[in-house]
Structure 1
Amino acid sequence: MGNQLFQQARESVAYASSVAGGAVQGDKHEAIMKAKNALSSAFVNSTDAERAQLREFQQTIESI
């Protein structure tokens, strides 16, 4: 079925990127905070491969 927390983190990062880029209306700060929380939660129960992707997602958030 997949790692649900990983999926949520990926979606949260995509949403925050969309808000920051102006493609979607929303609170940029709130979107970033939700993405950071989702990344933190997902990291604990992830495989090594998922962790590598989560680090990339984290870099995306940090660059916003």
Structure 2
Amino acid sequence: MTLICLFLRHFCMKPIHDIFPLIKQPARVVITMHQKPDGDAMGSALGLCGFLKRLGHEVAVISPPTGRAG
């Protein structure tokens, strides 16, 4: 089992009251999203970013290129 799988097993499908103590200590956090992110992916990433910033974390959101010229 990879390190990522072990990490995700630790956090996935747990009640919020089990996870909240793990995010109380401010840390540097990077939030990413899938390729060609849609509005749901962006909104979720930015919402999580705002939540974590209110808890005192230093947060960066990284979005992959959309492939569109702009």
Q: What TM bracket, shorter-length normalisation?
A: 0.3 to 0.5
Larger radius of gyration: 2
| Bigger RCO of structures 1 and 2 (CA < 8 A, at least 6 apart) | 1
Select the structure that is richer in strand.
2
* TM-score between both structures, scaled by the size of structure 2: 0.39
**Structure with more helix by fraction:** 1
